[in-house]
Amino acid sequence: MKKNMLLIGFETTLFIIILLAALVNLKSNTTSQFAASFDGTYVIVSTFFVIISAYLFGLFSGCVYSLVLGARYKDQIEFYARKNEKLSQQSEIDTDDKEVLQRKIATLEIALDNALKNKQ
């Protein structure tokens, strides 16, 4: 949970920095030229648009990628979660059995001591 909050905070901070950089470029009317065709024509595009579109493209492609991976490995994740739960339950059962055996041994030791005392 703490790791998720750290990632959300980092992403929010990064978004604010990129948004501020884009707004500074918007107010300064900085433009970038990108080739639009092979015949030498150019389209003049604002840097604000380039920065925001690159950020949003990365953000959405990352979300889609993680959704695809999540769906792809969902069965494996559920399998390992069930396996972990079974191992945890087995560990609890083993611990309980061990405690029961220790109590039985302690009871038998007391009974043996009493039998030896009564024999003398």
User: Could you tell me the CA-to-CA distances from 22 to 8, 43, 44, 114 in Å, in that order?
Assistant: 21, 19, 16, 87
Indicate the Cα dihedral angle 83, 88, 91, 97, nearest 10°: -110
Give the residue ranges of DSSP H helices in 1-120: 2-27, 47-72, 74-119
pLDDT of residue 32: 65
Question: Residue ranges per domain, the chain?
Answer: 1-72, 74-120
DSSP lists the bridge partners of residue 43 as 34
pLDDT of residue 54: 84
Please tell me the pTM assigned to this model. 0.46
Q: Which amino acid is at 29?
A: N
pLDDT at 52 over 60: yes
Neighbours of 32 (CB within 10 A): 14
pLDDT of residue 36: 59
Mean pLDDT in residue range 69-93: 83
3-state secondary structure of 45: strand
pLDDT at 35 over 80: no
